[in-house]
Each structure stands twice: as C-alpha cells, then as structure tokens.
C-alpha cells in the first residue's frame, strides 16, 4: 500500500474507533440515568462534483434523558473540489483532488447545568497534508471548576507534545469561537488547531491525544451535573444560549462550510443544531 494511503487508512480507523468508544460511554451515562436510549446509525454516500462516488460516512445520533440530542459523525470523502472552493484550500489550487477523514461531535444536554460540548478532529490531504480540530465547552450556566477541569485535560494532552501548543491553541479557540456580531464568546473555550503540517506520526499522535483528552474531560462533567435540580429560568437561559450556538455554526463554522461545499450529508452537517432554541 502506498504510504499516503496507509496514513489515510490509519487516520480513518482511529476516528471510527474513537467514535465507538465515545458512543459507548454516552450510552453508559444514559443507563446510569435509567434510560434505554442508544445511538442510531445512518450510513450515507457522497457523490463527487464529477458525478462519481466520493466516499461517505456514518451519522450516529441519540436522544435520551441526559443527552437531549447528541451526534457523533465519522466521514471519509474524496474526489475533486469545485474550482471555486479549491482556491480556498491549501494545496488544491493547482490540483483540486482531495481526501478527508474525520470525526465530529456535538452534544446538547437536557439539564441546563450540564455544558454542551463540541469536538472535532480531521486529516485532510491535497498536494499537502495536515491535521486539525479541537474541543470546546459551551455551558449555558458556567462553573469555573468545570472550565478548569476541561482545560486541564486539554493542557496535559498539548504539553505531552509541545510546550507551546496549549497557549497557542487555547487562544486560537478563543479567537475562533467568537461571535463578532454580538461581541461575545460562544462558550468558555478549549483548544482549536488547523493545518498542522509536517511529520505524520507526531501530528497523528497529538490528534489521538486530543480525542483521549475529550474522553477524560467530558463524561465526568456530565455525571457531576446531570442530576442537579433546575428551574424555568435555567431552561430559559439554556434556550437563549443555544440560539447563539446556532448563529455561530451557521455563520462562521468552517466544518459546516466544508461539508456543504463538498457535497456532504446535510443531516450530518447540521446535526450540530440543537433540537430547541429561542431568540427574544
């Protein structure tokens, strides 16, 4: 097998295995809450701009007592970018052929005290190749200790690879997950990185550690907060906060744009949207 093909397959296999572990953990939390909710998996196939098959993926989604709506998607697509979109992708200007594989997760929680969360990691190749992704916490009712715990797990993952990563990628997250039209942050941050080029093995190892850090960080926060009492005002705050989440994902999110511009599955792309939100 060609070395590049081996890298692509290794990344795909990892993202699929991470999905399976995350979904199993989330289902276990539902069982602890007395719910029988489980993920439903919907495969989809992509047609390239040339009209030929262009890969596809599996959309996993669950609605339960703890997770009001959670989606965990893995997609592996390839083919050719449209001429217009190729001009915005590094390495695709001279050759629009590409390959991309990744995992994307968004969880909207039933209890306003439990933070919503986003996690995504991906590997993309054109005439260049790079990893990107990150994770960020989005609480409607923030707790300083939850933010610190979440960031500590991400910091540890970063520090194992490069002492400059956490400060760089945490600031990148703060800058990226920002709603300029409201002049507010989407949540309480995390890390975000993109176009991490260079040697495959260390960058792949870092990307795996980001996934492991997410698994270490988020489920404990869910278990800590999911039984807390809440009132109508808490729910009102949750629904209004979700409105800002919707605004970010539809106006600024790179993954949403990439999926729509490359003929991805619309339901999988928009699974990040909450089931209920409110604007005053």
Q: Which domains does the chain have, with CATH numbers?
A: 3-272 (3.40.1500.10)
Q: For the CA atoms of 155, 157, 160, 164, what is the dihedral angle to 10 degrees?
A: -40
Q: Does 118 participate in catalysis according to the annotation?
A: yes
Residue 209's pLDDT is 98
Residue 156's φ and ψ, nearest 5 degrees, are: -60, -40
Dist. CA 80–CA 50, nearest whole Å: 7
Among residues 266, 156, 167, the alpha carbon closest in space to that of 212 is found at 156
Instruction: Record the pTM.
Output: 0.94
Average pLDDT on 238-264 reads 90
Helix (H, G, I), strand (E, B) or coil at 183: coil
Q: End-to-end distance of the chain based on CA atoms, in angstroms?
A: 56
Residue 148's pLDDT is 98
Dist. CA 45–CA 66, nearest whole Å: 30
Residue 3's pLDDT is 67
Residue 268's pLDDT is 83
Among residues 249, 214, 259, the alpha carbon closest in space to that of 54 is found at 259
Among residues 183, 159, 181, 184, the alpha carbon closest in space to that of 170 is found at 159
Catalytic pick among 113, 118, 151, 181: 118
Residue pLDDT, tens place only, 57-66:
999 999 999 9
Dist. CA 241–CA 222, nearest whole Å: 18
Residue 230's pLDDT is 98
Task: Report in angstroms the alpha-carbon separations of 17 from 11, 24, 51, 74, 196.
Answer: 10, 11, 30, 10, 22
> Which residue's entry shows tokens 């997250």?
173
Residue pLDDT, tens place only, 189-205:
999 999 999 999 999 99
Residue 4's pLDDT is 66
Average pLDDT on 133-142 reads 98
Average pLDDT on 75-89 reads 88
């Amino acid at each position: 097998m060609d070395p590049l093909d081996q890298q692509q397959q290794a990344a795909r296999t990892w993202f699929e295995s991470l999905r399976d572990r995350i979904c199993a953990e989330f289902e276990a939390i539902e069982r602890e809450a007395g719910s029988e909710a489980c993920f439903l998996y919907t495969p989809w196939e992509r047609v390239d701009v040339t009209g030929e098959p262009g890969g596809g993926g599996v959309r996993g989604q669950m609605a339960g007592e703890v997770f009001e709506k959670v989606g965990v998607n893995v997609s592996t697509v390839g083919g050719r970018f449209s001429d217009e979109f190729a001009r915005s992708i590094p390495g695709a200007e001279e050759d629009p052929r590409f390959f991309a594989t990744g995992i994307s997760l968004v969880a909207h929680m039933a209890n306003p005290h439990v933070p919503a969360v986003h996690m995504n990691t991906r590997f993309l190749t054109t005439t260049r190749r790079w990893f990107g992704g990150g994770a960020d916490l989005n609480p409607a009712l923030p707790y300083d200790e939850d933010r610190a715990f979440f960031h500590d797990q991400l910091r540890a993952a970063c520090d194992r690879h490069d002492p400059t990563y956490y400060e760089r990628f945490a600031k990148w997250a703060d800058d990226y997950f920002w709603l300029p039209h409201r002049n507010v942050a989407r949540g309480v941050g995390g890390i975000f990185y993109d176009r991490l080029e260079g040697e495959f093995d260390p960058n792949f190892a870092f990307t795996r550690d980001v996934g492991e850090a997410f698994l270490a960080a988020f489920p404990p926060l869910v278990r800590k907060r999911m039984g807390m009492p809440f009132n109508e005002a808490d729910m009102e705050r949750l629904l209004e906060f979700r409105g800002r989440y919707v605004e970010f994902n539809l106006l600024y999110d790179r993954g949403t744009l990439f999926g729509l511009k490359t003929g991805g599955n619309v339901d999988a792309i928009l699974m990040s949207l909450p089931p209920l939100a409110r604007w005053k």
